[in-house]
Structure 1
Amino acid sequence: MDPRQFSDLFIFNRVAEQRSFTAAARSLGVTQSAVSQTVKRLEQEMGLRLLSRSTRSLAPTAAGERLLATLSPVIAEIGAEIEALERLREEPGGRLRVTCGKHAADTLVWPAFSRLIAAHPEIEGELSVEDRYVDIVAERFDIGIRMRDDLEMDMVAMPVGPPLRTVVVGAPRYLETRDPPRVPRDLSAHRCIGFRNAGGTLSPWSFERDGHAETVKVSPSIIVNDGDALVEAASAGMGLAYMLEDLAAPFLSEGRLVEVLADWCPPFPGYHAFYSSRRHPTRASTLFLEALRQESRGKLDG
């Protein structure tokens, strides 16, 4: 079947519904001549008269009635499905699948995600919390949350979290026995606690001051792969640890940890939400992104 016939059949169906070339043309936003020529071409290609015309009336022939019996329900079904899809664009129902790491989930994503699902229970929400790299296209996630410098080029990304900051911390009793580091290279004289990320590599210790960036490769005396274990090891006096400030904040406020190298640890851009540039975000995804931004604004205002 010639793909052009789909359009011709639609126009023929509209003429039969309206019982008028002029009315059909007006509803389609084209000229009466264009509609007439389309029906004429369709009849020539099929070798059948589909419409019986007179100066005062227009009606389907027997062949036209037979064609309309099949054609009209199909066109009506397609139209109804398109309307349903358009409503999906405006309504937040459907499935929302989100992936992120544990820190992002605890500090930003879960509060926004749970608030959205509570407000829109018609959304089927799934939140996958794991620190490994996730290919959101291959694994069919709608949105991922990661740092901006860890994203593929074909992703649409937008900031959704407040700025973050890393800190180097140690227990008071550990620092009582050693001079605290003044510059990053002084870390070579200290016991350090390493963090092995989901990719299996040790997370680097990166610093910056006055536009000068420096990355130190430490030789850890102990290695963990969990944020809670990292904090506990540092507070137990096992050495200095490098971590996000949010993880250390309660221990710093209680005096169980002390920060060093503070002037080498400026804030940096926080989490970004990302999705495939080849996939238009659903209404549920759009609402979730707005919930993330609201959560971020609340943290900044707080």
Structure 2
Amino acid sequence: MSKPTLTDLNAFKAVAEQRSFRRAADLMGVSRSSLSHTVRTLERRLGTRLLHRTTRSVSLTESGERLLQRLGPLLGELDTLLEEASSHEGKLTGRLRINGSEAAIRLLLQRVVPQFLALHDAVELDLVAEGRLVDIVEQGFDAGVRLREAVPKDMIAIPIGGDLRFLAVASPGYLKGKPILETPGQLALHRCIRQRLPSGKLYRWEFQKHDQEVLADVPGAMTLDSSQLMVEAAADGLGIAYVPESYAHAYLREGKLVTVLEDWCPHIPGLHLYYPNNRHVPPSLRAFIDLLRE
């Protein structure tokens, strides 16, 4: 029996983690048919089936589960070893994968990425922006970027960008002739633009004044899943939106929006880059973190 190649093992790992030949092929930059052939070759070499395939899904066999459990850490260590070997020559190489929200990735692109690529042009940055919170270890990421409250407790977290604030905003036109807002409870008298989270749940607006906290399930005839769209809808007079201050800043400066309940809108810990505390940190991630701290 010929031994499996590193290409075979990486192909299996990608399909097993993604539970999809299509997503794994996109991730690896190969065709689905080529990836399927590679995995079948691996199964033939090992003499066992690793994946259950249907037209709609992919799942692991018992043998596949055992192989993936041992293979992930080994390939991760191999990548780190190769990266460290090349870095001894003074040049970082390899791929650095970071997952985060769209706002988080945008912040990295503005503040860190240009300088990082200028210093380490042989490193491939793979930045994935998505709303849903993923397990970065399971999905093969080196790090993630989320609000501090969303970072798993077993991760090392590094602040970037400082604290942030959510603001309730509306257009002057919408507020004209409407009841004055002094407490979150009075939002029941208004039309609000609600937000649907990536999980599918509706976001309940969080307010705090001194020691008093209020979680408001606001009324509204419209729900959106984008802070940018919510700001635009509010500027068009469609209701009150509750969004990160950075999204509303330009509209507030131009007078298209004004804040309401501002004394109920506290600052909260902002975005943090995080990574597992029980793994060796790859040199490329360490270099990225050093730039963040600078």
Task: Find the residue that maps to 1:118 and give its secondary structure.
Answer: helix
Residues 235-287 of structure 1 deviation map (CA, whole Å, 9 limit, x = unaligned): 01110000000000000000000101111112111111111122221121112
Q: Which residue of 1 aligns with 2:267?
A: 267
CA distance in 2: counterparts of 1:83 and 1:193, whole angstroms: 50
Alignment partner, residue 151 of structure 2: 151
2:223 paired residue number: 223
Give the superposition deviation at 1:158.
Answer: 2.0
Contact 1:109-1:292 within 8 A present in 2 as well: no
Partner of 1:88: 87
Aligned to 1:257: 257
Q: Percent identity?
A: 35
Write the letter of the residue equivalent to 2:250: P
TM-score, normalised relative to structure 1: 0.66
**Pairing 1:191–2:195 present:** no
- Give the partner amino acid of 2:285: S
Mapping of residues 125-144 of structure 1, within 5 Å: 125-144=125-144
For residues 181 and 82 of structure 1, do their structure 2 counterparts lie closer, same or farther at Cα, with a shift above 3 Å needed?
A: closer
For residues 71-126 of structure 1, give each alpha carbon's deviation from its aligned partner in whole angstroms, at most 9, with x where no partner exists: xxxxxxxxxx9798455377532211111111112234553123211221011111
For the residues of structure 2 that align with 1:94 and 1:161, how far apart are their CA atoms? 27
Corresponding residue for residue 283 of structure 1: 283
Residues 207 and 265, structure 1, Cα contact 8 Å, conserved in 2: yes
Rounded Cα–Cα distance in structure 2 between residues aligned with 1:194 and 1:291: 37
Per-residue deviation at 1:293?
3.3
Report if aligned partners of 2:160, 2:272 keep a CA contact under 8 Å in 1: yes
Aligned to 1:203: 203
Q: Residue 163 of structure 2 corresponds to which residue in structure 1?
A: 163
Q: Note if contact 1:167-1:242 (Cα within 8 Å) is conserved in structure 2.
A: yes
Aligned-residue offset at 1:190: 0.5
- 1:68 maps to which residue? none
Q: Is the 1:190–1:239 Cα contact (8 Å) retained in structure 2?
A: yes
* Aligned structure 1 segments of 4 or more residues deviating by more than 6 angstroms: 81-84
TM-score, length of structure 2 as denominator length: 0.68
Letter of the structure 1 residue corresponding to residue 97 of structure 2? R
* Matched AA of 1:135: D
CA distance in 2 between counterparts of 1:85 and 1:115 reads 21
Bigger Rg, which one: 1
For residues 188-244 of structure 1, give each alpha carbon's deviation from its aligned partner in whole angstroms, at most 9, with x where no partner exists. Answer: 110000111111111221011112211111122210111221111100111000000
Inter-partner Cα distance in structure 2 for 1:86 and 1:111: 29
State the partner residue of 2:56. Answer: none
How has the CA–CA distance of structure 1 residues 288 and 173 changed in structure 2, closer, same or farther, with 3 Å as cutoff?
Answer: same
- The 2-side partners of 1:85 and 1:159 are apart by 26
1:120 and 2:124 correspond? no
Counterparts of 1:84 and 1:233, CA distance in 2: 47
After superposition, give the CA deviation of every residue in 1:146-195 in whole Å (9 maximum; x if it has no partner): 11221223222122221100100001000012023111111111000011
Indicate if the aligned counterparts of 1:160 and 1:289 stay in contact, CA closer than 8 A: no
Quick one: structure 1 residues 86 and 251, their matched pair in 2 at CA, closer, same or farther if it must change by over 3 Å?
same
RMSD (Å) for aligned C-alpha atoms:
2.1
Distance (whole Å) between structure 2 residues aligned to residue 109 and residue 145 of structure 1: 12
Q: Cα–Cα, structure 1 residues 284 and 99, in superposed 2: closer, same or farther, change >3 Å? A: same
CA distance in 2, matches of 1:85, 1:183: 56
Report how many aligned residue pairs link the two structures: 214
**Contact 2:193–2:223 under 8 Å retained in 1:** yes
Q: Secondary structure at the match of 1:182?
A: coil
Paired position in structure 2 for 1:178: 178
Which residue type is aligned with residue 266 of structure 1? P
SS at match of 2:164: coil
